[in-house]
Structure formats: structure tokens, C-alpha cells
Chain A
Amino acid sequence: MSSDEKSILCINGLNKFYSGGFHALKDINLEIEKGEIVALLGPNGAGKTTLISVVCGIVNPSSGTVRVDGYDIIKDFRKTRSIIGLVPQELTTDSFETVFNTVSFSRGLFGKPPNAAHIEKVLRSLSLWDKKDDMIMTLSGGMKRRVLIAKALSHEPIVLFLDEPTAGVDVNLRKDMWGIVRELKAEGVTIILTTHYIEEAEEIADRVGVINNGEIILMEDKDKLMAKLGKKQLILDLCDQLSVVPESMADYELELSENGLQLVYTFTTQGDRTGITALMDDLKLAGIAFRDLNTTQSSLEEIFVNLVEESS
């Protein structure tokens, strides 16, 4: 399979200058493969929404090219837009319309003939079928968020952009959303989501991108990223209290807890050796016994914060 056949979204040298000169996107290059779930992380104002808006046709690019499924977003806008679904960040809905009508409207707007069976399937999958005749203004925030997803899915897109889909949503609904995203992936839909919730990216993404100041500072397979940049710690619960770490153990840069009952060894998984075996031997030689041990790994959140701080 060629690269073109595999990639659903291909962005080359994309720049966006807003009136007033603000450089919102700086030479963005990005390729996303069919069926992937990609999470874009970044602080407020980093350029995540601008990037999505350009691909969807809401914001005009200043330079560069964007191709969706091989089609240019400007020259072939009908083709690209008809296969893209967008769930915006804001809860923008037609308050006075019913759920069924507003979702049907979206399907028509995107050039698809009426299909009540498909609308029903979408509404049922989002637990909205019972609310189909309700006016949107009567729905809760979480339900409105589901309506926006239903609208985005009404025309059977193959690429779905979710701009902070779980912002302001309770934990249960957030987990429901993750389930929906996984189901869509199983159906072959490519999903690009922006989020502030690192756990969301950690939970559902295949790849993670970090945007800061309009630049993509990292795009990496999530597991590889965590393996590459994630630090591990080995925590030993000591049998006897220590007042200081013995001189003979200085090379391991161990940290002793305040109460002297824990030793913490920090290591990376990148190297050939972690140094754990040697540490164990040296601890035995030094006569330090422990009764329990456990390991912890740095979260994506810590990785993200470190990356953004470095790039700033």
C-alpha cells in the first residue's frame, strides 16, 4: 500500500496569519493514516482549533496545502468536506429545533439524501433516540454535546474532528464518549481530537501530537512516546530506617524519603540496561534490606508539561 493510499490527511507547509499579523500556525506538516485516533494536545491558544478549522474549511489557510483522502481542501472542497465531520468545541446548537430535525438538516446540508434509518441508528448509538422529538434547548449540556456528535455523524463521514469533545462533561459521559470513539474507529473512521485531558489521550489515542505556539513540537505513537520520554521509578520500602544513603550507592543517585524508610531509584527504559540488577546486588552488599518494592511510570501529563515548558 502506498503512502497516499494509507494517509487520510496530509498537511504540508501550512501557515495561518490572522489579520493583525498573528502567526497562528507555523509551517505545519502532518500526515494521519486511515483509521487512526490522533490526539492533539496543547495549551489554550496553541493553534489546535485553528488547525482543525483550516482542514474543515472554516478558516482560510495563508499558505501550504491540505489534502483529505487525496483531495485538496480548496480545489476539491465538495469532496473533502463531504467526508469530514466536525464536532465543535462550543455547544452551538439550534435551540428551537428538535433533535431529529437538526440532525436531518445536517445530513442534507452535507449533500446526502434523507435517510431516516441512518439518523435513527446514529441517535440510538448516542442514546438520543428517546429525545428525538425534544427541542434542543430543553436538553442538558451533555445531551447537547451528543447532538453535536450526531450532527457530525449524520452524513457518514470517514474523518471525524472532535474539538475538545469532553470539555465540561461529567466522568460517566466522558467514558461513554470514549466508547463511542472506539466504536467509530472499529467502523474505520479516522478520528482527530483535541483535548486538555491528558488521560483522554492516554486512554483512546493511537498517536499523540503536541502543539505549542502554532508549531507541532511532537507527533509520536502514544506507547512509544511514553516509553521514550516516560521515566520509571523503583520504590523500595526498607526494613530498617536509614539516616543517609551510603557512599557506596552514590552512583545510583537514590533519593531517601524524609522518614528514611523509602529509597527511590529513577531510571529510563531507553537504555540497554536499567541498572536494577546491579542496584539489588549493591544493596545486598551494603546490608540494606527491603520488605516491598513497586514501580511507577510518569504519565502523559508530565511528558506534555515538560515538552511545553521546553518549547516555551
Chain B
Amino acid sequence: MNIYGIMAIYKFEMARTKRTLVQSIVAPVITTSLYFIVFGAAIGSRIDQVSGISYGAFIVPGLIMLNLLTHSISNASFGIYFPKFVGTVYEMLSAPVSTLEVVLGYVGAAASKAVILGIIILITASFFIDLQIAHPIMMMVFILLTAVSFSLFGFILGIWADNFEKLSVVPMLVVTPLVFLGGSFYSIDMLPQPWQTISHFNPVLYLVSGLRWSFYEISEVSVMLSLTSILIFMFACLGVVYYLFKTGYKLRS
């Protein structure tokens, strides 16, 4: 295995974050703080407890998931799209690195950045609410699996995209609406039928529900179902990535 190759890609991608610290870390922290001020303090003060938890605390897992998904996707998709766009991808294609090594480098870095961001948001949240985490290990498992799976998804997106519009269309028009409609800021029990049933077709519901369980031991679907869903999604993405590199789709002619 080309360990030096993996490390080179990983360090290169992490260095990119250092250069864009405001965009990568500061902006999400400010946005999260605004969510707490608007939803937690202003609107939340007028909402009774949700499933026995204060509204401010209830939205924490949803906020973490929102940031994990969007940043995993954007980090990984940009990481592979940008070399394609400027032409430096020739170097990776001509290097002695396998598909697995490329994925470990790019997806590893994107997932690392997303996890770091998730932890920063968790710390930010602790300034606004009295944070309780019932199952910290399971919380990390959910955060890691989500970060890795959606970084893989972002990587696929970055290979598929051949312009900046395509790069942003899926996160903006698909992922963000799914997160908002996946119970991030409310319990789906609060929805009337048939929206409650329809919500069960939203994959993000399973992620948010699983993460919320690790915090407060409350969930809208079973924890095992949440774990299974994310594992299936992760392996599906791995399969697609393998196929893309095997065929050279949009990389090798």
C-alpha cells in the first residue's frame, strides 16, 4: 500500500482547510450560534418541551447532522473536483496510487474535517444549553459513519460534476431540504398525516434519529435501523466509487 501517497493527499486536503479557516470553521460556528439564538432562544422559548427535552437541546443533534452532511459533501466533492477543474488531476492519475488509496486520502480528509466541525458545533452548543450525552461512544459512531458515508457521496458528486453548478445543485436542492424535513428541528410526531408516513422515506430521518438517541435516548425509528441504513448507504457509495475508478468515469478517457 502507498502509505506516503495516502498521507500526501490527506495532508494536502487538510492544509486547504487551514488556508480557508474562516470559511471552513468560523462560518459554520457563527451560523450554528444564530440557529440557537433564533430557534433556541427566540422561538424555542415559546415552544414547550419536545419529547421531554427543551427545544434548544432537542435541535442540537439536528444541527450537528446538518453541518456534518453539508460539509462532508462539500469538502469531498470540492477536493476531487478542483484538481479536475484546474487540470492537476493528471498527477494523481499518473501516480502509483490505487482507488482505495485515493479514496482514503480524499474521503479521510473530508470526513476528518466534518468530524472536527461536528465537535466544534457540539462545544458551541454547550455555551447555549445544558448538554447531556447519554451514549458518547454511540454518538461518535454515528458522527463518524455519517461523515465517512457522506464524504464518499461528495466524492462521487465531485467526479460526476463537470461544472460548479452541478457541484452545488445536489447539496442545495436535495441534501439541505432532506435535512430540514428529516426531523432536525422538530419531532415527526408533530406532523399531520400523511407527512408523518412520507417522512419515513427520508433517509436523513434515520441519521438524525440515531444521533438524537445517542444524546437523549429518544428516537423516532429504532437505533439498529438507523445504523443499518447508514451502513448500507456507506457500502453503496463505496461500490459506486470503485466502479467509477475501475471504468475511469470522467477521469480517464
Contact = CB atoms under 8 A, between A and B. Distances in A.
Contact of B93 (A19, A58, A101, A111): A58
B2 A111 contact: yes
Interface in A41-88: 56-60, 77-79, 81-82, 84, 86, 88
A197 interface: no
A110 B5 contact: yes
A94 interface: yes
A110 B9 CA distance: 11
A109 B90 contact: no
A60 B5 CA distance: 22
Given A60-B252, A111-B4, A92 B90 contact: yes
Interface in B84-143: 86-88, 90-98
Contacts of B195: none
A59 B252 contact: yes
Interface in A151-170: 151
B4 A112 contact: yes
Contacts of B4: 107-109, 111-114
Given A92-B87, A109-B8, A109-B9, A78 B94 contact: no
A60 B93 CA distance: 11
Given A84-B94, A88-B90, A105 B8 contact: yes
A114 B11 CA distance: 13
B216 to A, nearest CB: 42
A86 B90 CA distance: 9
A93 interface: yes
Size range of the interface on B?
20 to 34
A86 B88 CA distance: 12
Contact of B5 (A56, A88, A104, A111): A111
A94 B90 CA distance: 12
A73 B132 CA distance: 56
A283 B93 CA distance: 66
A105 B93 contact: no
A107 to B, nearest CB: 8
Contacts of B9: 109
Given A81-B95, A82-B96, A60 B248 contact: yes
Q: DSSP class of A's interface residues: helix, strand, loop or mixed?
A: loop
Contact of A57 (B8, B87, B93): B93
Interface string A150-190: 01000000000000000000000000000000000000000
B19 interface: yes
Nearest to A55: B94
Nearest to B252: A60
A127 B239 CA distance: 46
A92 B5 contact: no
A95 interface: yes
A260 B19 CA distance: 73
Interface in A243-290: none
Contacts of A78: 2, 96, 98
A92 B96 contact: no
Contacts of B2: 78, 111
A19 B253 contact: yes
Contacts of A82: 96
A7 interface: no
Nearest to A60: B252
Interface string B1-35: 01011011101100110010000000000000000
Contacts of A57: 93-94, 252
A114 B7 CA distance: 11
Nearest to B88: A92
A107 B92 CA distance: 12
A18 B252 CA distance: 11
A109 to B, nearest CB: 5
A57 B90 CA distance: 9
A299 interface: no
B87 A81 contact: no
Interface of A: 18-19, 56-60, 77-79, 81-82, 84, 86, 88, 90, 92-97, 101, 104-114, 151
Interface of B: 2, 4-5, 7-9, 11-12, 15-16, 19, 86-88, 90-98, 248, 252-253
25 contacts: A18-B253, A57-B94, A58-B90, A58-B252, A78-B2, A78-B96, A79-B96, A81-B94, A81-B95, A88-B87, A90-B87, A92-B88, A95-B86, A105-B12, A108-B5, A108-B11, A109-B4, A109-B5, A109-B8, A109-B91, A109-B92, A111-B5, A111-B97, A113-B4, A114-B4
Given A108-B11, A111-B4, A111-B95, 7 more contacts: A18-B253, A57-B252, A86-B90, A88-B90, A94-B12, A96-B19, A109-B4
